[in-house]
A and B are shown apart, each in its own frame.
Chain A
Amino acid sequence: MSAAAVKNYHLKFDSDPIHIKGIRLACEELAREVGFDDKAVDELGLCVNEAIANVVEHAYNFELGRPVEIWVEARGDGKVKEGELRIRLRDWGPGIDPSKLPVKPKDPLVPGGLGLICMREMMDSMEYAAPAEGGMLLTLVRRFPRRRG
Protein backbone atom coordinates (compact mmCIF):
# COMPACT_ATOMS: atom_id res chain seq x y z
CA MET A 1 0.00 0.00 0.00
CA SER A 2 2.05 2.91 -1.25
CA ALA A 3 0.10 5.93 -0.01
CA ALA A 4 -0.67 4.61 3.40
CA ALA A 5 1.62 4.42 6.36
CA VAL A 6 2.20 1.09 8.00
CA LYS A 7 2.44 1.14 11.75
CA ASN A 8 3.42 -1.80 13.84
CA TYR A 9 4.13 -2.77 17.34
CA HIS A 10 5.26 -5.99 18.91
CA LEU A 11 5.17 -6.61 22.63
CA LYS A 12 6.24 -9.46 24.85
CA PHE A 13 4.56 -9.55 28.22
CA ASP A 14 3.55 -12.00 30.90
CA SER A 15 0.13 -13.41 31.67
CA ASP A 16 -0.83 -10.81 34.27
CA PRO A 17 -4.18 -8.99 33.84
CA ILE A 18 -2.38 -5.82 34.87
CA HIS A 19 -1.10 -5.48 31.28
CA ILE A 20 -4.48 -5.62 29.56
CA LYS A 21 -5.50 -1.98 29.88
CA GLY A 22 -2.22 -0.54 28.60
CA ILE A 23 -2.16 -2.82 25.58
CA ARG A 24 -5.82 -2.09 24.84
CA LEU A 25 -5.21 1.66 24.97
CA ALA A 26 -2.12 1.39 22.73
CA CYS A 27 -4.11 -0.60 20.17
CA GLU A 28 -6.96 1.92 20.29
CA GLU A 29 -4.54 4.78 19.73
CA LEU A 30 -2.96 3.06 16.75
CA ALA A 31 -6.38 2.34 15.25
CA ARG A 32 -7.42 5.97 15.73
CA GLU A 33 -4.20 7.25 14.14
CA VAL A 34 -4.73 5.28 10.96
CA GLY A 35 -8.30 6.43 10.53
CA PHE A 36 -10.72 4.03 12.15
CA ASP A 37 -13.84 5.76 13.46
CA ASP A 38 -14.68 5.95 17.16
CA LYS A 39 -16.98 2.93 17.13
CA ALA A 40 -14.41 0.77 15.38
CA VAL A 41 -11.68 1.95 17.76
CA ASP A 42 -13.85 0.99 20.74
CA GLU A 43 -14.62 -2.42 19.25
CA LEU A 44 -10.99 -3.12 18.42
CA GLY A 45 -9.99 -2.23 21.95
CA LEU A 46 -12.61 -4.52 23.42
CA CYS A 47 -11.55 -7.40 21.17
CA VAL A 48 -7.88 -7.02 22.12
CA ASN A 49 -8.93 -6.96 25.78
CA GLU A 50 -11.04 -10.09 25.38
CA ALA A 51 -8.38 -11.95 23.42
CA ILE A 52 -5.72 -11.32 26.08
CA ALA A 53 -8.20 -12.10 28.88
CA ASN A 54 -8.96 -15.45 27.21
CA VAL A 55 -5.25 -16.28 27.20
CA VAL A 56 -4.85 -15.35 30.87
CA GLU A 57 -8.00 -17.15 31.94
CA HIS A 58 -8.22 -20.18 29.67
CA ALA A 59 -4.78 -20.85 28.16
CA TYR A 60 -2.93 -20.19 31.43
CA ASN A 61 -5.71 -20.69 34.00
CA PHE A 62 -4.69 -17.40 35.73
CA GLU A 63 -1.12 -18.58 36.23
CA LEU A 64 1.08 -15.49 36.30
CA GLY A 65 4.43 -15.16 34.58
CA ARG A 66 3.61 -17.17 31.45
CA PRO A 67 4.70 -15.71 28.09
CA VAL A 68 2.39 -13.83 25.74
CA GLU A 69 3.28 -11.93 22.58
CA ILE A 70 1.21 -9.53 20.54
CA TRP A 71 1.83 -8.03 17.13
CA VAL A 72 -0.38 -5.18 15.92
CA GLU A 73 -0.07 -4.01 12.33
CA ALA A 74 -2.18 -1.19 10.96
CA ARG A 75 -2.33 0.14 7.45
CA GLY A 76 -3.81 3.54 6.72
CA ASP A 77 -2.89 7.21 6.86
CA GLY A 78 -5.88 8.75 8.62
CA LYS A 79 -7.38 9.87 5.29
CA VAL A 80 -7.75 6.84 3.11
CA LYS A 81 -11.01 4.99 3.08
CA GLU A 82 -9.47 1.60 3.05
CA GLY A 83 -7.08 -0.13 5.30
CA GLU A 84 -6.90 -2.79 7.94
CA LEU A 85 -5.63 -3.57 11.36
CA ARG A 86 -4.27 -7.02 12.07
CA ILE A 87 -3.64 -8.36 15.54
CA ARG A 88 -1.77 -11.56 16.26
CA LEU A 89 -1.69 -12.94 19.78
CA ARG A 90 0.57 -15.85 20.73
CA ASP A 91 0.43 -18.00 23.83
CA TRP A 92 2.15 -21.20 24.91
CA GLY A 93 -0.79 -22.81 26.68
CA PRO A 94 -2.32 -26.24 26.03
CA GLY A 95 -3.22 -25.35 22.44
CA ILE A 96 -6.98 -25.54 22.66
CA ASP A 97 -8.77 -23.72 19.86
CA PRO A 98 -11.68 -21.93 21.56
CA SER A 99 -13.47 -21.44 18.27
CA LYS A 100 -13.70 -25.25 17.83
CA LEU A 101 -15.36 -25.86 21.19
CA PRO A 102 -19.02 -26.90 20.94
CA VAL A 103 -21.25 -23.87 20.57
CA LYS A 104 -23.78 -23.79 23.36
CA PRO A 105 -27.00 -21.82 22.98
CA LYS A 106 -26.13 -18.48 24.55
CA ASP A 107 -28.04 -17.86 27.74
CA PRO A 108 -27.40 -14.25 28.81
CA LEU A 109 -27.53 -15.33 32.44
CA VAL A 110 -24.76 -17.90 32.06
CA PRO A 111 -21.41 -16.09 31.99
CA GLY A 112 -18.76 -17.23 29.55
CA GLY A 113 -18.18 -17.00 25.86
CA LEU A 114 -18.93 -13.29 25.57
CA GLY A 115 -15.36 -12.51 24.53
CA LEU A 116 -15.57 -14.90 21.58
CA ILE A 117 -18.96 -13.48 20.61
CA CYS A 118 -17.47 -9.97 20.57
CA MET A 119 -14.52 -11.07 18.44
CA ARG A 120 -16.77 -12.90 15.97
CA GLU A 121 -19.20 -10.00 15.65
CA MET A 122 -16.75 -7.10 15.68
CA MET A 123 -13.83 -8.37 13.62
CA ASP A 124 -13.81 -9.23 9.93
CA SER A 125 -11.90 -12.41 10.58
CA MET A 126 -10.80 -14.45 13.56
CA GLU A 127 -8.54 -17.47 13.13
CA TYR A 128 -6.83 -19.72 15.61
CA ALA A 129 -3.79 -21.72 14.50
CA ALA A 130 -1.72 -24.23 16.44
CA PRO A 131 2.03 -23.61 15.85
CA ALA A 132 4.29 -26.66 15.86
CA GLU A 133 6.05 -25.37 18.99
CA GLY A 134 2.79 -25.55 20.95
CA GLY A 135 0.25 -23.04 22.20
CA MET A 136 -2.03 -21.01 19.97
CA LEU A 137 -1.76 -18.11 17.57
CA LEU A 138 -4.89 -15.99 17.23
CA THR A 139 -5.15 -13.67 14.25
CA LEU A 140 -7.81 -10.96 14.21
CA VAL A 141 -8.37 -8.63 11.26
CA ARG A 142 -10.58 -5.55 11.08
CA ARG A 143 -10.94 -3.63 7.82
CA PHE A 144 -12.49 -0.30 7.05
CA PRO A 145 -14.92 0.29 5.58
CA ARG A 146 -16.05 -2.89 7.22
CA ARG A 147 -17.19 -5.77 5.04
CA ARG A 148 -20.48 -6.95 6.41
CA GLY A 149 -22.18 -10.27 6.12
Chain B
Amino acid sequence: MSESQTIETNSTVVPTARRVGESIVAVVKGDVDLKTSPMLRTALLALIKDKIPERLILDLSSTSYMDSSAIAVLVEMLQKARKVQGKVCLIQLQPRVKGLLEIARLDSIFVIAKDEAEALKK
Protein backbone atom coordinates (compact mmCIF):
# COMPACT_ATOMS: atom_id res chain seq x y z
CA MET B 1 0.00 0.00 0.00
CA SER B 2 1.23 3.54 -0.76
CA GLU B 3 2.58 5.70 2.03
CA SER B 4 0.19 8.26 3.39
CA GLN B 5 0.83 11.89 4.13
CA THR B 6 -1.31 13.90 6.55
CA ILE B 7 -3.04 17.01 5.22
CA GLU B 8 -3.98 19.84 7.58
CA THR B 9 -7.69 20.61 7.34
CA ASN B 10 -8.59 23.10 10.10
CA SER B 11 -12.15 21.84 9.86
CA THR B 12 -14.38 20.25 12.46
CA VAL B 13 -16.50 18.64 9.75
CA VAL B 14 -13.45 17.17 7.99
CA PRO B 15 -11.05 16.78 10.93
CA THR B 16 -8.51 14.54 9.23
CA ALA B 17 -7.31 13.95 5.71
CA ARG B 18 -4.40 12.09 4.11
CA ARG B 19 -2.86 11.81 0.73
CA VAL B 20 -2.41 8.18 -0.28
CA GLY B 21 -0.61 7.97 -3.60
CA GLU B 22 -2.76 9.90 -6.08
CA SER B 23 -5.80 9.71 -3.81
CA ILE B 24 -7.02 11.83 -0.92
CA VAL B 25 -8.81 10.17 1.99
CA ALA B 26 -10.90 12.55 4.11
CA VAL B 27 -12.89 11.71 7.22
CA VAL B 28 -16.25 13.47 7.49
CA LYS B 29 -17.47 13.83 11.06
CA GLY B 30 -20.91 14.52 12.46
CA ASP B 31 -24.34 15.22 11.02
CA VAL B 32 -24.27 17.28 7.84
CA ASP B 33 -27.26 19.54 7.28
CA LEU B 34 -27.87 23.08 6.06
CA LYS B 35 -25.85 24.44 8.98
CA THR B 36 -22.76 22.30 8.42
CA SER B 37 -22.82 21.57 4.68
CA PRO B 38 -21.15 24.93 3.85
CA MET B 39 -18.30 23.87 6.17
CA LEU B 40 -18.06 20.51 4.41
CA ARG B 41 -17.93 22.28 1.05
CA THR B 42 -15.22 24.69 2.20
CA ALA B 43 -13.10 21.88 3.63
CA LEU B 44 -13.39 19.64 0.56
CA LEU B 45 -12.71 22.49 -1.87
CA ALA B 46 -9.56 23.32 0.12
CA LEU B 47 -8.41 19.70 -0.15
CA ILE B 48 -8.69 19.62 -3.94
CA LYS B 49 -7.68 23.25 -4.55
CA ASP B 50 -4.17 22.54 -5.83
CA LYS B 51 -4.92 19.33 -7.68
CA ILE B 52 -8.01 17.21 -8.04
CA PRO B 53 -6.97 13.72 -6.97
CA GLU B 54 -7.57 10.54 -8.95
CA ARG B 55 -9.83 9.49 -6.11
CA LEU B 56 -11.41 11.61 -3.42
CA ILE B 57 -12.28 9.03 -0.80
CA LEU B 58 -14.75 10.22 1.84
CA ASP B 59 -14.87 8.14 4.99
CA LEU B 60 -18.44 8.51 6.26
CA SER B 61 -18.18 6.14 9.21
CA SER B 62 -18.66 9.07 11.63
CA THR B 63 -21.56 10.61 9.73
CA SER B 64 -24.86 9.01 10.56
CA TYR B 65 -27.02 11.73 9.02
CA MET B 66 -26.95 13.88 5.91
CA ASP B 67 -29.60 15.99 4.23
CA SER B 68 -30.02 17.17 0.64
CA SER B 69 -27.63 20.10 1.15
CA ALA B 70 -24.85 17.63 1.97
CA ILE B 71 -25.74 15.56 -1.06
CA ALA B 72 -25.42 18.72 -3.18
CA VAL B 73 -21.86 19.18 -1.87
CA LEU B 74 -20.96 15.60 -2.76
CA VAL B 75 -22.40 16.05 -6.25
CA GLU B 76 -20.37 19.23 -6.71
CA MET B 77 -17.19 17.32 -5.81
CA LEU B 78 -18.16 14.55 -8.20
CA GLN B 79 -18.66 17.02 -11.04
CA LYS B 80 -15.22 18.52 -10.40
CA ALA B 81 -13.62 15.08 -10.27
CA ARG B 82 -15.27 13.95 -13.48
CA LYS B 83 -13.75 16.88 -15.39
CA VAL B 84 -10.34 15.26 -14.88
CA GLN B 85 -11.55 11.67 -15.04
CA GLY B 86 -11.38 11.45 -11.25
CA LYS B 87 -13.66 9.59 -8.90
CA VAL B 88 -15.42 10.32 -5.63
CA CYS B 89 -15.56 7.21 -3.47
CA LEU B 90 -17.80 6.96 -0.41
CA ILE B 91 -16.78 4.43 2.21
CA GLN B 92 -18.33 3.05 5.41
CA LEU B 93 -21.77 4.43 4.61
CA GLN B 94 -24.24 4.55 7.48
CA PRO B 95 -27.81 3.34 6.78
CA ARG B 96 -29.50 6.76 6.71
CA VAL B 97 -26.90 8.22 4.39
CA LYS B 98 -27.11 5.18 2.12
CA GLY B 99 -30.90 5.52 2.02
CA LEU B 100 -30.75 9.15 0.97
CA LEU B 101 -28.25 8.37 -1.79
CA GLU B 102 -30.66 5.72 -3.07
CA ILE B 103 -33.59 8.15 -3.11
CA ALA B 104 -31.41 10.66 -4.96
CA ARG B 105 -30.47 7.86 -7.40
CA LEU B 106 -26.83 8.57 -6.71
CA ASP B 107 -25.92 5.20 -5.23
CA SER B 108 -24.83 3.94 -8.64
CA ILE B 109 -23.08 7.18 -9.63
CA PHE B 110 -20.64 7.53 -6.75
CA VAL B 111 -18.15 4.75 -6.19
CA ILE B 112 -19.36 3.05 -3.02
CA ALA B 113 -16.85 0.87 -1.21
CA LYS B 114 -16.73 -0.99 2.06
CA ASP B 115 -13.48 0.55 3.24
CA GLU B 116 -10.42 2.48 2.17
CA ALA B 117 -8.55 -0.57 0.87
CA GLU B 118 -11.45 -1.50 -1.40
CA ALA B 119 -11.87 2.12 -2.57
CA LEU B 120 -8.20 2.36 -3.50
CA LYS B 121 -8.66 -0.62 -5.85
CA LYS B 122 -11.72 0.80 -7.64
Q: Which residues of A contact B (CB under 8 A)?
A: 17-18, 20-21, 24, 42, 46, 49-50, 53, 56-57, 106, 108-109, 111-112, 114-115, 117-118, 121
Complex contacts, B78 vs chain A, CB 8 Å:
109
A109 with B75: CB separation less than 8 A:
yes
Complex contacts, B111 vs chain A, CB 8 Å:
none
B4 CB to nearest chain A CB (Å): 30
Complex contacts, B109 vs chain A, CB 8 Å:
108-109
B33 with A21: CB separation less than 8 A:
yes
Known interface pairs A46-B67, A111-B71; 12 further A-B residue pairs with C-beta atoms within 8 A, sorted by A's residue number:
A17-B33, A46-B96, A49-B67, A50-B67, A53-B68, A53-B69, A109-B109, A114-B68, A114-B71, A114-B104, A115-B67, A121-B103
A66 CB to nearest chain B CB (Å): 14
Complex contacts, B72 vs chain A, CB 8 Å:
111-112, 114
Write the chain A residue with the least CB distance to B37: A17
Q: Per-residue CB proximity of B25-54 to A under 8 Å, as 1/0?
A: 000000101110000000000000000000
B104 with A18: CB separation less than 8 A:
no
A138 CB to nearest chain B CB (Å): 16
Write the chain A residue with the least CB distance to B105: A108
A42 to B33, CA, bound (A): 14
Complex contacts, B33 vs chain A, CB 8 Å:
17, 20-21, 24, 49, 53
Q: Does B106 contact A (CB under 8 A)?
A: yes
Complex contacts, A24 vs chain B, CB 8 Å:
33
Interface positions of B from 68 to 122, Cβ below 8 Å from A: 68-69, 71-72, 75-76, 78-79, 96, 99-100, 103-106, 109
Contact A18-B75, Cβ < 8 Å, known A108-B104, A118-B103: no
A56 to B38, CA, bound (A): 14
